[in-house]
Structure 1
Amino acid sequence: MRQDLYKLIEGNEDMQKFLRVQPFWYRKLSRRPHLISKMETEAKFYFEKSIPHRVSKFSEGVQMASMMVHMFQAMNAQQ
């Protein structure tokens, strides 16, 4: 593997973990180093750090907070 790719991967903990989980990327990057951006994208999806994943996590948090507020309001209304 090229040294510049190795240093890039070494500097990113998620990419290191992804490379250990998906070792075929070693071979792929050795033969086609321009695929590093594709590997980064796949690593983001694997660790659920892509924009759609972040939006869904945020909306789940908002829904949970809304449910808690409604529950507290219902408890206060009973008293």
Structure 2
Amino acid sequence: MSQAANAATSSSKRPYRKGNPLSDADKQRASVARKRATHKEVKVFLEPQLKELLMTMCQEDGLTQAEILARLIEREAQARNII
């Protein structure tokens, strides 16, 4: 019986962290709060066909919607000699 007791106490699991784990909603709120420190939020409504084009670009390039939009804005700004 002492071997069973030793096996239970000498496991290689991570030690218990005090406190309750965050809910998914709390994790998302924390993530958004971190992003707001360095980014600005943009809310956009697009026609369905434009949204599909955006999603296709995201899948083809393996990028997020924000990354694709940032690239498009930078490209347009360069074309207009803004940056």
TM-score, structure 2 length as denominator? 0.27
Higher helix share: 1
Which fold has the larger relative contact order, with Cα–Cα distance below 8 Å and residues 6 or more apart in sequence?
1
TM-score of the pair, normalised by structure 1: 0.28
